[in-house]
Amino acid sequence: MLGPHGGTHLLTGSSEYDAVVIGGGFFGCSLALGLSRFLGRVLVVEKEPELLQRASHSNQARVHNGYHYPRSLLTALRSRVNFDRFVGDYAECVVDGFDKYYAIATTFSHVTAEQFRTFCSRIGAPLEPAPRDVRALFNPALIEDVFRVREIAFDAVKLRQRTWRDLRAAGLEVRLNTEAVKLQARADELIEVSLQDKGAGDQVVARYVFNCTYARLNPVLANSNLPTLPLKYELTEMALVDMPAPLKDFGVTVMCGPFFSAMPFPSRGLHTLSHVRYTPHNYWFDGTDGCRIDAHHYLVNNLPDTRFEYMIRDASRYMPALRDARHMDSLWEVKTVLPASEVDDSRPILFRWGHGLKNLVCVMGGKIDNIYDVLQEIDLLRGRGELS
């Protein structure tokens, strides 16, 4: 078993597993832990030198409570159901010592303030008017109303440390710096997984393989001559900012449309600033007929200049105090979404059982709390006797 500081783990003994999980992000590791409850030997394979280093880290660190999805009632309700569970399960990894506000823009918003109140009432999300001093921070000509809500942030570093503890306690095997490059069915119904570790290759075999690689779901499928998935990719920037004194202890989201969010990012003691218009720098699509671009390779070779100045210029029209925010760094990642989510901003999980191969499962979630929906799917499969 690897320690929490990386390195490469060389397997000893048998290379046959009950399950191989490709992808050592929060989803892959949590899924592996869930599988270890009833499967004997589970391996996690991660391309990076550390777990939870890609999309699990480079994001807004928001634990959703439903407010963000007035155009997708199902997504909002699932967030509400999962919120308290996540807070309870990962109490040492979350930060709630800040106030969170949602502001409704006067123009270009997909919802009015009254519609937002009704929506929050329907999903049972706590909502109250913002105090007068907070409302005074917003431009009244551009903001219809401001509400105090209940949202929290997670500390990505503490979540990684917690994940390592859980993996060690469960006795799971992990290989870092190792890429799964190809899958192949065998006559005995096992799946052979070809691995590449710093240029050297070897194989393991498994009864089940779970592809949890987020922005890299399709490369391993394409290399294996399996159907690829219709996905949209966005090269995204989360600006890390030092907030001015009046804004240090709270987060804000102006919605619902081409607006922005500022959320505490606990592991750096800063805030993320994202903007619907400027956070995505580029986008492309994969279809069922192949994988156009390897997202990770693209990110390494096409890192653009920051758009912080554009973000802050627009955001400060709505919240003038933001003009004094200082750009400290940026988090870059490739965001992956299902094309259907572009219509209603929904965030369903992708869970494809038997995708091209018997017992190959492709899994993707758009929010950290989606993990409970994935684990629910696993329990349903067990109940039907398809996974045992």
Tens of pLDDT along 250-302? 999 999 989 999 999 999 999 999 999 999 999 999 998 899 999 999 999 99
Tens of pLDDT along 323-379? 999 999 999 999 999 887 766 666 788 999 999 999 999 999 989 999 999 999 999
The domain ranges of the chain are 1-61+155-225+345-388, 95-153+231-337
Contact at 8 Å (CB) between 175 and 195? yes
- What's the topology of domain 1-61+155-225+345-388? FAD/NAD(P)-binding domain (3.50.50)
**Three-class DSSP category at 226:** coil
Contact at 8 Å (CB) between 231 and 335? no
Q: What is the pLDDT of residue 165?
A: 98
Q: What is the pLDDT of residue 366?
A: 87
Tens of pLDDT along 327-342? 999 999 999 998 877 6
Contact at 8 Å (CB) between 336 and 297? no
Is the pLDDT score of 13 beyond 50? no
Contact at 8 Å (CB) between 111 and 256? yes
Counting residues of the chain whose pLDDT is more than 70, the rounded percentage is 95
User: Distance between CA 313 and CA 264 in Å, rounded?
Assistant: 20
* CATH homologous superfamily for the domain 95-153+231-337: D-Amino Acid Oxidase, subunit A, domain 2 (3.30.9.10)
Tokens, residue 336: 């992956």
Tens of pLDDT along 118-156? 999 999 999 999 999 999 999 999 999 999 999 999 999
Q: What is the pLDDT of residue 347?
A: 78
Q: Residue 275, Cβ neighbours under 10 Å: how many?
A: 24
